[in-house]
Structures are given as structure tokens and as C-alpha cells.
Amino acid sequence: MSFTEDGKKMSDSYDTDVGDSDNEINTPGNIRNGPWFTVIEPNSFVIDRLPPFSPDHVEETNRYATSTLHASDPTPQARGNNWKPVSKQEISTFFGLMLAMGIVRKPSYASYWANGNGNVLTYTPNFSQIMSRNRFQQILRFLHCNDNGLAAERGQAGYNPLHKVANIIEFFNRTFEENYRLSQNVCIDERMIGFKGRHFLKQYIANKKAHRWGVKAWVLAESGNGYTHQLEIYKGKSNSPRHPDGQGYKVVMDLMRPHFGNQHHVTIDSWFTSPKLVHDLRNRGTYCTGTVITTRKGMPQRFRKARVPKGEILAKSQGPVMSVLYSDRRQVSLLTTAGSANKGKVVNAPALVHKYNETMGGVDLGDQFIAQYEPQFRSLKLWKKILFNLLMTATVNAYICYKNTFVIQKKMDHLTFQQEIVQDLIGQHREGQTRPGRSCLHQSTRLTARHFIEWIPYKRRMRCAVCSGKENRFSGTRIRTWCPDCGVGLCVGRCFKHFHTLQINEE
């Protein structure tokens, strides 16, 4: 029989004496592990202790644009008529502008180029000077990747729904692995890549705050800082080979296979955890902790109907694995190969629960970093959403690596680091005004044509082009009036007259 901490006998509702019921639940593959034995003193029982521890977008974009324009019959006013081959510097600038859109959110693409004569925030580039709006949208439309012949008709053998980005995913995974060494504590969880278009891979997960609609990816991340080490996107039930031990077993074993024997400790949730998975990981030199469903194959049968009083612990061991049933607000069952059921001094919960809470949030932490400056753009192509999510993941990983480096000067925060990446990607690329002659027309008509002051549409505000740069108490004030012909904010009266009658500096 089992006893509580004060030596009293536990109730019969969760009597844990070893019986035939615990032996019957073991499958033939788990007989070598033996039956589940009752842990008489959970607070002093320790199961084990952790030991010390490129794809070319330029060519593909140009090829895709040429083939698309030749195959279609565009109207005379179509933007594709003036398409010119994109250069490597333009692609780099395009990605830089896309990342800049994640720093400052605006309702549409056109709004980033509206009023682009210097009236922009200090930490965003002047979009109008760097690249025209039409050119940006052209590149976004014709942006393409080389699938290296991976494309096939849906339903045929060898079909890969991610053939557009399969090589890119492999490239990023290889780069993430080569440039970072994982610490001992890692975790595996799912991540949603936001997408609301039509695709059979699109799913809905209600408990994902960043994106509830999108494609699901399984991520191996470091528990402490959220570094994304490996990423595997779910290809759908029809395109994923069925595994005899379940999809969760296959995902964990595939992601952890390169790290077998390195004494890592991986934390997972109940969708992945099973007694067979925990045993197999331990046999391959990898420790594991995770919540588990009590009805999962190989679990003690007594756990299925046991009702543990609040604050009590029920523990069983099977070789190097310990299963714990703990009750607080609700009953929680866990499996571990590294930890104990000792209760903490501050919070009256098993140490195993604290270990799980500390090491499970790595993927969610990475999601928070990505969502902080993720560019918001619409696309009917799922692979483009995946591409930019991988780009954001790379910037977050770079920031994590930067924080872990030893530097004497004060380190940049995430926003400043993101700005540095944007500036490096854009470089010295400048395209100028979008419409030929628009700038000259503005210069010549400002002093000669008839102009009228109006309210700025949609109740927006702008800084005055005349007095905003002067040292007075109104220099930082945003006003409601402007000259729509010149596209600048102007105060009523003196500033409006001064701007249209005198030669002023228009830098």
C-alpha cells in the first residue's frame, strides 16, 4: 500500500499496489522495461539526475516574371509592362523594406509611400527615395524560388506541397544548426505560420495567440532563449507517412536524432509524450520530461481512474522512467527520465512540475520575438508567407546569437538590432521618385501655380514643412491642414504663404 507524507494510508480510490492491471497495459514492445512499481516516498525518490553538459531568388524571380508576362495578355495600363530584370541589390533592398514594414505598421502598401518627402519616423527608411511603390509590388508579385524539379501533381507519387520552399527550409535549417550550439535544455512544440488564403494545409488552432489560422510547423528550440534550431512543416495527413508509434513519436525522434548521445533534456507536451517515446529517448542518451495523457498506451492502468486529493502526489517508476500524477486545480500527469517528485518550499508542487514550466516555453518565446516586428502583408501564396516567416526567424536567431556574444560596449535592444539589419540590407540603394517628372513639376509649380489649403483626409495629422524644423515651442506639433498639390503639411496663414512664395530648403 502507499502512504501520504504524514504516514496515513491513501484512499482506495487511487490505491497503487502493483497488480496484474499494471502488467497488462504493457505492450510487447515495452515488456523489456518491466511493470510499473509504486513509489512509496515520492518526496525522496529521484529517477535520475542530468549529467553535466541558399537559394538564388534573383534568377528565379526574373525567369518567373518573363514567363508570366509572356503567357498573359496584360492591359496597356498594367504595371508589368514596364518590368525590368531585378538585381541582387534590389532583392536585398526589397527584403530590407519588408522587414522595415514590421517596425512601423501601416494599413496598406501605398501608405508607406504616401507623403514620402521626409515626413517619416526617425527609425524607418524613406520608402519613396529607396524604391518606388510600383517596383516594390512588382518584385513581390514575381518573387519566385527554384523548386529543383520537386513540383508534381497533387495525388501523384513524390508530391510535395511545399516544393516552392523545400530548398529554402533546408537551407535555413542547415544555417541554424551550423551557427549555434544548443544548451542542455531544449523543447519541441508547434508553431503557426499565419495564412488565411485557400490551401489544404491551412489549420485553425484556437490557443495560438499570434496566429490562429495558418500552417503548422514543429520546432526544436532552446528552452532558455527561444533560439529556433530546426523547423519541420506539417505536410498534411495524405503526404506524411504513417508511423506505427504515432505522428508525435516520429516528430520528436526526427528532430532529436542529430543530438542523440549528447545528454540533452527535451521538454514536450501531451501531444507528443508516450512511455515508448520516453524510454527510446533515454536509451539513446537523451533525457525527457513531458505531460502525458493517462490513457496513452503503456501508462499505468491505475492512473486512468485515480482521483488524487489536492496537493497529493502519486508516483510510479518503470526502470529509468517515473510517472507522476499530481493534483492542484486539476490533475496533471507527467513522465520524466530526469527529475524528482520532491515538493518545493515556496510553491507546494513537485519539482518535476517546476522543471516542466521552466523548460517548455522556448518555442513560445521565439514566437513572441517573431511577432514583435513581423511584417504584415497579404498574399494568396502560402510559400511566400513561409519564406518571410523564415526570414523573421533568421533575424530573431541572429539577435539571440548577438546577445550571447561577449562585447564590452552596451548591447543593442531588439528594435535597434532590427534597424541595423534593415540598413545593411538596403545599403546605398536609391531609386528616387516613382513617376518621371513628378519632382520637377513639384519644384516648378510650387511658386507659380494656384494652390489651396485643405483638411488632411481621414483626420490625419502632419508636421508643418516650414516651422517644424525651427526651434520654437510649436516645432513638434502635428497639424490638420495641408496643400494636397504639394503633398506637405502647412499651417494656415503665414506658413502656407511662406512656402508658396519663397525659395526654401526642401531636403
Residues of the chain with pLDDT under 70: 1-33, 52-55, 74, 77, 107-108, 114-124, 146-158, 343-347, 408, 432-450, 458, 469-476, 502-507
**What is the radius of gyration, based on Cα positions, of the chain?**
30
- Report strand pairing: 265-268 vs 185-194: parallel
Distance of CA 427 to the CA centre of its chain: 26
- Could you give the CA distance from residue 37 to residue 2 in angstroms, rounded to a whole number? 11
The type of residue at 221 is A
| Sequence-distant (≥ 6) Cβ neighbours of residue 161 within 8 angstroms | 154, 199, 200, 201, 235, 236, 239
The predicted structure's pLDDT at residue 479: 85
| Sequence-distant (≥ 6) Cβ neighbours of residue 250 within 8 angstroms | 243
Q: Rounded to the nearest 10 degrees, what angle do helices 382-404 and 88-103 cross at?
A: 80
The predicted structure's pLDDT at residue 308: 83
**Nearest 10 degrees: Cα torsion 33, 35, 40, 42:** 40
pLDDT digits (tens, 9 = 90+) for 378-423: 788 888 889 889 999 999 999 999 988 877 677 888 888 888 888 8
Helix (H/G/I), strand (E/B), else coil: 267: strand
- Could you give the CA distance from residue 507 to residue 502 in angstroms, rounded to a whole number? 15
Nearest to 430, CA basis, from 125, 67, 215: 125
The predicted structure's pLDDT at residue 304: 85
DSSP H helices, 55-165, are: 57-71, 88-103, 109-113, 127-130, 133-142
The predicted structure's pLDDT at residue 444: 44
Nearest to 79, CA basis, from 420, 435, 351, 373: 435
DSSP string covering 184-247: SEEEEEEEEEE--SS-TT-EE-TT-SS-SEEEEEEEEEETTT--EEEEEE---GGGSPPPTT-H
Q: What angle do CA 425, 428, 429 make, to 5 degrees?
A: 80
The predicted structure's pLDDT at residue 117: 39
DSSP string covering 410-422: PPP-HHHHHHHHH
> pTM of this prediction?
0.68
All cell numbers assigned to 494: 503665414
The predicted structure's pLDDT at residue 276: 92
> 15: exposed, middle or buried (C-beta count within 10 Å: 0-12, 13-18, 19+)?
middle
Cβ atoms 301, 220 nearer than 8 A: no
* Domain limits, the chain: 57-151+378-426, 183-366, 438-501
Q: What angle do CA 144, 146, 149 make, to 5 degrees?
A: 135
The CA–CA distances, whole Å, from 72 to 62, 68, 230 equal 16, 6, 39
All cell numbers assigned to 136: 516594390
All cell numbers assigned to 335: 513522465
Helix (H/G/I), strand (E/B), else coil: 446: coil
All cell numbers assigned to 103: 517596425
**DSSP H or E segment with residue 249:** helix 247-256
Helix (H/G/I), strand (E/B), else coil: 462: strand
Distance of CA 381 to the CA centre of its chain: 18
Nearest to 226, CA basis, from 392, 351, 95: 392
Q: What angle do CA 284, 260, 370 make, to 5 degrees?
A: 135
